[in-house]
Amino acid sequence: VQLQASGGGLVQPGGSLRLSCAASGRIFSIGTMRWYRQAPGNQRELVAGITSGSSINYADSVKGRFTISRDNAKNTVYLQMNSLKPEDTAVYYCNAGIMTLNRKWDDYWGRGTLVTVSS
């Protein structure tokens, strides 16, 4: 199983980006999917999560600006980021709990995609 994140880049303050993370491999079922981020010198922090039933939670710092969603048919989770601030600059990682075809649950991480918010 692999998680492939994409969509990062350089954006000016106030701008928008949309991150995608697609899961592939011998997947039977996907549970909660999450986005984390890690800025230089900081610990990795949870940004947003969405359960298989589409219950959603956000970090306080991104509420009202970021939107997480998922497309179960495509095994993909998205993060729409609006009104970006310099403090949103970080490497963004996707994470998912996945049951493989042999009915084993495990926790998977993508490699990360860099988001830089700067003028």
Asked whether 35 and 7 are in contact (CB, 8 A), the reply is no
pLDDT of residue 117: 98
Question: In the block, which residue shows the tokens 């959603």?
Answer: 56
pLDDT of residue 48: 98
Closest CA to 95 of 10, 41, 37: 37
Closest CA to 58 of 34, 90, 87: 34
Band of pLDDT at residue 13, cut at 50, 70 and 90: very high
pLDDT of residue 79: 98
From first CA to last CA, the distance across the chain in angstroms is 37
pLDDT of residue 23: 98
DSSP H helical ranges for 25-87: none
Average pLDDT over residues 62-76: 97
pLDDT of residue 74: 97
Asked whether 30 and 72 are in contact (CB, 8 A), the reply is yes
Asked whether 117 and 11 are in contact (CB, 8 A), the reply is yes
